[in-house]
Structures are given as structure tokens and as C-alpha cells.
């Protein structure tokens, strides 16, 4: 009898731990107005802040490209019969500070992104706009679909708040000069020698699958 009770207790603890450690995206609320946005439960410490996840997608032409240099934390899948780079991103904000102006998920979509730089047969892909502080952060998770046989190099300086494509390393200063609306604690564009990758909402949220 005791062994049965012990097993039941262990199973209950396992279920509880599983629930506590589940992906915050799966515990979020999909926006009824835009299924490419997932709102975080628990909201934030300030009504001006909207925490959650934005799912976007993009493609990059790979004509003439033999090697790609990408962020070290990007997930990569290689497939036959494709000739372009397919990019699926999760732009996330988890911030509990008190900004002077609003930071909404449409700002996260607008000010976070990817950029490319071409040099002969080499293509570099990096992120811009990410930032972190003691009160929270914004970040990008990337899923890349690449042609089979493409040479891939991962670089640690191609993502994060210190990404080498950011237009200004002092991102607290950049937020005051580059932002177009709302508030932002990071850069809002890559440096001039990088090209912004045009992305679009992904209602299928493929970066999380």
C-alpha cells in the first residue's frame, strides 16, 4: 500500500515539475487579432509593457553563395530541392521594468530583425536590436532551412546585444536617437554595411515547431 502511495506521490510531483518547466510559449495566449503573436500570461509590471512572442518569416536568395556564416544559437535544417535560405524567427520580450513610453509587441516586431552581408560567395546572417538589462530582455530565436550541401559556419558574434551588425554598441544611447515610436533599449537597425532582411508575420508559428 505504501509503495502504491509513494508511486502516486512521485507521479504527481513529476507532473507538477513538468507543468512548471513547460515552454512559456505553449502557456501563452494566441492573439485573436493576429495568430502570429502569442501574449505572455502574467503580463508585466507596467501597463506600458506588453510581453510575449512575435513569429516572423523571411527568405534570402542564395544565388552564387557557397558558404553561410550564421548565429551560433540558430537551429538549422538542411533540405534537398531548395535554393534559398528560409528564416523563421521568434522575437520575444520578457521585460518587467518601467519605461518612460510604451514597449508593445508591434515594437518588438519592428525593431528586432535579421540582416545580411555578402562577400563574393559568402553570406553572413546576423541579428540586430536585441538587448538585455537587470529588468528583462528582448531576444530572437532563429530556425533556418538551408539547401543540403551548403557549408555552414556558426559565429558567436552574430546575435545578442553585442551582435556585430548592430549600428551602435551603446544601445541605451541608440534608443534615444534611432527609435521612431514607443521606447526601445536597443538599436533599431543594423549598421550601414548590412542589409535588413524583409520579414513578414508567420501565423503558422513555424519557428516553434
CB contact set of 58 (below 8 Å; sequence gap of 6+): 86, 87, 89, 114, 197, 198, 199, 200
CB contact set of 91 (below 8 Å; sequence gap of 6+): 53, 54, 55, 56, 108, 109, 112, 113, 138, 139, 140
Q: Phi and psi of 31, rounded to 5°?
A: -65, 130
Neighbours of 161 (CB within 10 A): 20
Q: Is the pLDDT of residue 82 over 70?
A: yes
Cβ-in-10-Å burial (0-12, 13-18, 19+) of 12 comes to: exposed
Average pLDDT over residues 13-27: 49
Average pLDDT over residues 115-127: 97
Here the cell at position 93 is: 520580450
The whole-chain average pLDDT of the chain stands at 85
Helices (H), the chain: 2-20, 105-111, 171-178
- What letter would DSSP give residue 157? G
* Model pLDDT, residue 63: 96
> Is residue 89 within 8 Å of residue 206, measured between CB atoms?
no
Q: Is the pLDDT of residue 202 over 90?
A: yes
Which region among 3-7, 66-70, 81-85, 146-150 has the lowest average model confidence (pLDDT)? 3-7
Sorted by where each begins, the domain ranges of the chain are 28-208
pLDDT tens track for 133-183: 899 999 999 999 999 999 999 999 999 988 999 876 555 444 555 556 778
Cβ-in-10-Å burial (0-12, 13-18, 19+) of 92 comes to: buried
| pLDDT > 90: percent of the chain | 65
Q: Is the pLDDT of residue 20 over 70?
A: no
Amino acid at each position: 500500500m505504501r509503495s502504491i502511495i509513494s508511486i502516486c506521490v512521485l507521479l504527481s510531483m513529476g507532473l507538477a515539475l513538468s507543468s512548471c518547466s513547460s515552454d512559456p510559449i505553449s502557456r501563452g495566449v494566441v492573439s485573436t487579432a493576429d495568430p502570429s503573436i502569442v501574449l505572455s500570461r502574467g503580463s508585466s509590471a507596467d501597463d506600458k509593457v506588453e510581453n510575449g512572442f512575435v513569429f516572423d518569416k523571411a527568405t534570402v536568395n542564395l544565388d552564387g553563395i557557397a558558404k553561410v556564416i550564421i548565429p551560433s544559437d540558430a537551429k538549422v535544417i538542411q533540405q534537398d530541392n531548395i535554393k534559398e535560405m528560409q528564416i523563421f524567427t521568434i522575437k520575444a520580450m520578457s521585460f518587467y521594468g518601467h519605461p518612460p513610453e510604451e514597449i508593445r509587441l508591434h515594437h518588438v516586431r519592428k525593431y528586432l530583425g535579421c540582416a545580411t552581408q555578402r562577400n563574393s560567395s559568402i553570406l553572413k546572417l546576423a541579428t540586430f536590436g536585441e538587448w538585455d538589462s537587470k529588468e528583462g530582455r528582448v531576444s530572437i530565436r532563429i530556425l533556418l532551412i538551408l539547401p543540403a550541401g551548403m557549408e555552414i559556419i556558426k559565429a558567436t558574434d552574430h546575435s545578442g546585444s553585442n551582435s556585430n551588425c548592430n549600428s551602435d554598441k551603446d544601445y541605451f544611447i541608440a534608443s534615444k536617437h534611432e527609435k521612431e515610436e514607443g521606447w526601445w533599449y536597443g538599436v533599431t537597425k543594423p549598421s550601414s554595411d548590412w542589409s535588413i532582411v524583409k520579414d513578414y508575420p508567420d501565423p503558422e508559428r513555424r519557428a516553434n515547431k
